[in-house]
Amino acid sequence: MANFNNYTYKEKVSITVFGALNIDLSVKEVQEGQTALASCSVSPACPTSLPVFSWSHPGEEYFHSMQFEDGQWKATATLTFHPTKADHNKPLLCTVRYDGGRQQETTKLLKVKHAPVNVMVEYKSDVKEGEAVQLKCSSDAYPPANSYEWYNETGVQMHQGNTYMIPNVSRNMDAFYCTAINTVGRGKSSPMRLSVLYAPEIKMASSCSSRGDVVKCMCIVESKPPSMVHFVIPEKVFAGTKIERHGSVTIGTLQAEFGSSEVVHCLANNTIGIASFTLSLPVNDKMHHLFIAIATGAGVVLMILLIAVVFVIKCRRSSGDAPTLHIQTNKGEELPEYATANSSVLRKEMNCGAMQWSASYSSDNVYGNMETDNDAIYANV
């Protein structure tokens, strides 16, 4: 009002204008799952136009005001809520709005006690088999974790402490996990396996088979990282090898004509090392049949020779033991000596199975002699 000092008034009023009011925000340290209480106060406050409070966190809100002895008013709002570990270190905001649009706000960080979460194991990504590796366990917790334990997948404790040194890494190591512990509780990491790199190993199941003149060879390799596979004979590396990969297993397959080679070499290599394996090549069908025919013919010839040798030996033994052949006339008279000798020759030839007409010629002589003798006998009679 202009020129208000030029007038007098029966009743006078003293007006005091304050600057920014003091806002007091308080919240105690809380634990996850428990009920928390926060209070927001402003003083002095006008009893005829009390401020409006609002909170950044959901919960149950309460408001009350009180008058102090000096006549000043204080307005207070409270918030009851249930914090979670996600609220830890998050700001809690109290906003005060006055009549006329004036606004003030203040914040405090929430401190929520909770068991360890986000338990992680850190280690060097590329670990070669046989090397040493250091593992480190970390977690998010309030208060911070004060103890760490390491277990394998069967629950056997392997180590204590947030770092764990493994001196000799193997691809066949069990999965393991880390457990972090604080005053509120404990949390564990997900089971994990080390990613161990190792040189190729060619499996004994690798082999070659044939169909006609075409030979198919298969080479099975286990390695990490996966291997390249080649088939080699002296002074030649075969192209066209088909590669299949199934995790750490690589299968190389080749169909080709290997000529007169008896073996082929499978070569496998990766960034860690190299391996080789010698595969025997099968004999093709034509050569196989030829070998069978030759072997069969040789067997038949050998059998014939054995039979002939046995036969000759038997004949020789029989000729030494042959009995004398006795031939009598009608009157019981003995034949002349030369006739007996001729009949012995005939008996020898008959014992050896040589049924030849030459033997009958000797018999004709005998019979001729016999006829001569009989003629003489008949003449005497």
pLDDT the model gives residue 350: 44
The pair phi, psi for residue 124, each rounded to 5°, is -65, 135
User: Domain 114-194 is of which CATH architecture?
Assistant: Sandwich (2.60)
Domain ranges of the chain: 14-110, 114-194, 200-282, 322-380
Q: Does domain 14-110 have CATH number 1.10.3720.10?
A: no
Angle at 323 between CA 317 and CA 327, to 5 degrees: 150
- Per residue in 280-302, pLDDT (tens digit) is 998 754 455 455 556 677 777 78
- For the domain with range 200-282, which CATH number is right: 4.10.93.10, 2.60.40.10, 3.40.50.2300, 1.10.1740.10? 2.60.40.10
pLDDT the model gives residue 44: 75
CA-CA distances (angstroms) from residue 266 to 197, 220, 282? 21, 9, 15
pLDDT the model gives residue 7: 67
- Which residue positions in the chain have pLDDT lower than 50? 285-286, 289, 322-381
pLDDT the model gives residue 284: 57
For 7, counting Cβ atoms within 10 Å of its Cβ (0-12 exposed, 13-18 middle, 19+ buried), the class is: exposed
pLDDT the model gives residue 24: 92
pLDDT the model gives residue 324: 46
pLDDT the model gives residue 269: 97
pLDDT the model gives residue 258: 84
* 0.85 surpassed by pTM: no
